[in-house]
Each structure stands twice: as C-alpha cells, then as structure tokens.
Structure 1
Amino acid sequence: MVTGGSRGIGAATARRLARDGWDLVLTYRTDAEAARRVAELCREAGADAVVVAADRTGAPDAAIEAPFDAAHAAFGRLDAVVDNAGTTTRYAPLADTPAEEIRTTIDVDFTAVVLTARRAVQEFTATGTPGVIVAVSSGAATIGSPGEYTHYAAAKAAVDAFAMGLGKEVGPLGIRVVAVAPGLVDTELHARTGDPGRTQRMAAGIPLGRAATPEEIAGTIAWLVGPEASYVTATTLRVAGGR
C-alpha cells in the first residue's frame, strides 16, 4: 500500500516498487486521473495495481479502512505500508496561519499516520505477516521550519517519535516500523503552496547543492521495505543532502 500515490514521492515510490515486483494499492485524495496514470505505469512495469479514493482530512475511519479493504479484495493479503500521504497548505508564520489549516495538517500528517499504522499492525498480526510500515516524515522535523510551517514540522517530529516507539512495541512480533525524512525534494508541492521558486532558492543552502528528485527518495523507501533492510526498525532515516 502506498498512500498519496498519485504524485510526487508517492507516485515515484509506486513506480519503483512496481519495478521491484510489488503489487500495489494506491490511494489518492482528489486527483483520480493522476492516480490512474500512476497505476497504469505500474501495470506496464509488470505489477498489478488498484486505486482507492481516501480523503484523510479529519482522519475519518472510512479513509483509513478503504485501502485495507481494497488490498484484501485484490490480493488477499498485505505485506507493507508506505504512508506517504501528507499536506501543507502554505508557507507562513504560525500567527498568520488559520486554525483550521493547522488542524487539517496535524490530522493528515500525524493522526492519520497513527491510525493507519494501528490498522496495519492489526492486519499483520491477524495474518501472521512480518510486515513493514514506512512513514514519510520530513527533514523539517529537526529544524523546525520557522516562518514557513512550524506546525507541519511539529507533526513530522511526532511521526519520528511514533515510528521509534511503535517499532520497539511491535518488533517482537516481527513487524518493522521506520520513518523516512526527506529534505528538499523537487515536486509540485512548492508551487501548490504559493512559492514555486522555493526549490531553487533553498538549494544553495544544501551541502549537495541541489534538491532531491522524488526517485531518490523512492529508492530509499524501496530499500526499507525490502529484505536488505531486515534489521532496520524503530528509527528515522534522513535523506536530506546533508542539511
């Protein structure tokens, strides 16, 4: 399962996992056509892929359950969850950010991650699957992102703490839980939040001198869900170009 699989890191991860031989359940919130295009690319790579609408705003139970139901219907089992779906609405100081936007960000970027992981653990334990949960965090979790989105950074810091705690909790069951913390990534997110030049402006402050591509983050995630990372759990892997 890849949540938020219609664009950016989620879409790149879906394509990479399809090439690696994984069948996929992809979720999206609004852009059904983009999700269908990603699923078709996955099928062209030899995978089976199904698409599920799941609006996690407010973290409703139906949005959490829908992709698990789809996995059962299509494949009969689930082996890994990449919880990538996230949101941020604008770059602004906290005092200028509407309360409802703050609530939505925390609901989608943290509460829904907790509920999805809870459901995944229930699934894995019921089927005896040594499953993997990878939560997409952010490099912002450790730098705070002052003046841009401190509430988003705080939600992602909570994801890091959650991955550590849950990974230790379910390790004895053979379940691994890891967070991935990308730094600056060249996706359309920056344009959607009203700052299309942010990627180029911030690249100069990164030791590697550039933003990551979504495919670079996808490669890290693919490694984490695979057998070569079988001893990696209860931690956050930072993929931020040295920043």
Structure 2
Amino acid sequence: MTDQVLIVTGGSRGIGASVCRKASVFGHTVIVNYAGNKTAADAVVADIEAAGGKAVAVQADVSREADILALFNAADELGQLTGLVNNAGVVDFSQRVDEMTAERLTRMFSINVVGSFLCAREAIKRMSTRHGGSGGGIVNLGSAGSKLGSPSQYVDYASSKGAIDTMTVGLALEVADEGIRVNAVRPGIIDTELHASGGLPDRVAQLQSKLPMKRAGSADEVAEAIIWLLSESSSYTTGAILDVSGGRSILP
C-alpha cells in the first residue's frame, strides 16, 4: 500500500494510536487526529517519522462539524484520501439510565454516532467513484457492548455502538458499487485508558478472570484487524462486523 492518505480519528491514544503506527508501516500517510492532547498526538507522529513513515497531527473535535471539515481539508493537502478509521469515542461514569442527564446523552451520541456519520460523509465525498474518487475503505469502531447492553454501567455507550453496527451495514450496502468498503471492528475488554476515563481504572483487572481467555486484549490486537480490513487482503469484505473480543461477545 503506497501513496495513501488515512485519517484516524482519536489517533493519539489507545487503539487509534496503534492503528496510526501500524498503518504507516504499510505506506499510509497518516492523519493523527486528536481532540485535546497535542503532546500525545505529536508523540505518535514522532514514532511514525522515526520509523521512516509520514504523519501529521491535526486537532479536531469530531462532535463539531466545523472541526471535521477542517480535518478533512487538512488531509486534502497531503494527497488523495483512501481511508478513514472512525475510532474517536467516549464513555462516561457508570450510571443507570434513570440517572442519566440529557447533557451526558447528547455528548455521548454527538461524538460516538454523529461524529462518525459526518466523518464518513466527508470520506465518501472524496473516495467514492460517484464523486470522482478512486475508492477506499472505512472502518468503524464498535464494541462488544452493543451485543451485551452494558446494564447498570454504560447502556448509553452500548447503544451508541449499536448505532455504529447498523451504520456499518447500511453504509456498506449504500456505497458497495462506488469503490468503498465499509466494515467495523467490535472490541471486547481491551487494556487501554478508556476504562479510566469512565471512572473504572481497575476494570481490566477486575474482569479478566471472568473473560473466556482469562485476559484482556491489547490495542495492537485490535489494530491488526483494522489494518487487515483496510488492506487489499480483505478486498471482498464489506458490511462485516469483526469481533475482537476474546470470545466475550458470544457468552450466553
């Protein structure tokens, strides 16, 4: 894979950072998107450049349409967009639904769902053969929570990821004959800082003994699946939702 421009939203940390580093090895020029942590994004860019790759850090809050437009305009300056990884997402502190505020729900769905839709919209405008593009791939980040529901913790987060599942299938069919493949990866318990941001820094340690493989997954393991879905090795795969959950999403 050469001369390809890839946008990874939320690319400064966790799974997104791992995708950025791995994608650069395969010739992608990577747009490392970040919302606020410039230091972390710059560190990912430095790692990529040290390994001989090309990357640029671009600040954009995907809950804001103006920021999304600026993000994609920045990518246009580097070449033809050929890939998007809709990775940016948030959780919140554990709550029951009867405790949730409108503000919490609006933030959750603005970032996790609306942001992913708007990023996909801009990617399609650039990659679709209908719009004069040469094709490409979109990979959305789902969650095993969309199947498990996350009761008494994150029903809102799980629901937002359920929307991503549906978006993936519908959008894949919508652009299947326009040179764009749309797939999703649905991680289970992955050892990243996302748990701490939701107020449960010890969640991995607390749950791993209950997981089928008795361990959490790593950001790199999820990134490998995403890179495959972006590559020509998966050229006949679209509308797929690939579980990278160590079996957790198929528990009864």
TM-score by length of 1: 0.96
Which of 71, 76, 79 is the aligned partner of 2:82?
79
**2-side partners of 1:55 and 1:115: how far apart?**
12
**1-side partners of 2:200 and 2:9: how far apart?**
25
Which residue in the other structure is 2:3 paired with? none
Question: Matches of residues 50-89 of structure 1 in structure 2 within 5 Å?
Answer: 50-56=56-62, 59-73=63-77, 75-89=78-92
**2-side partners of 1:129 and 1:46: how far apart?**
26
Shift of 1:118: 1.1
Which residue in the other structure is 2:174 paired with? 169
Percent of matched pairs sharing the same residue: 38
SS of corresponding position for 1:132 = strand
Question: Matches of residues 143-222 of structure 1 in structure 2 within 5 Å?
Answer: 143-222=148-227
Which of 24, 28, 52 is the aligned partner of 1:18?
24
**Does the 8 Å contact 1:50/1:70 carry over to 2?**
no
TM-score by length of 2: 0.92
Write the letter of the residue equivalent to 1:66.
Answer: A
Shift of 1:33: 0.6
**Does the 8 Å contact 1:35/1:51 carry over to 2?**
yes
SS of corresponding position for 1:209 = coil
Write the letter of the residue equivalent to 1:151.
Answer: D
Gaps spanning 5+ residues in structure 1: where? none
Write out the 4+ residue segments of structure 1 that deviate beyond 6 Å after TM superposition.
none
**1-side partners of 2:163 and 2:198: how far apart?**
22
Which residue in the other structure is 1:237 paired with? 242
Shift of 1:66: 1.9
Count residues with an aligned counterpart. Answer: 240
Gaps spanning 5+ residues in structure 2: where? 1-6
Shift of 1:23: 1.0
**Does the 8 Å contact 1:87/1:109 carry over to 2?**
yes
Which of 28, 39, 48 is the aligned partner of 1:33?
39
| RMSD after superposition | 1.1
**2-side partners of 1:15 and 1:76: how far apart?**
19
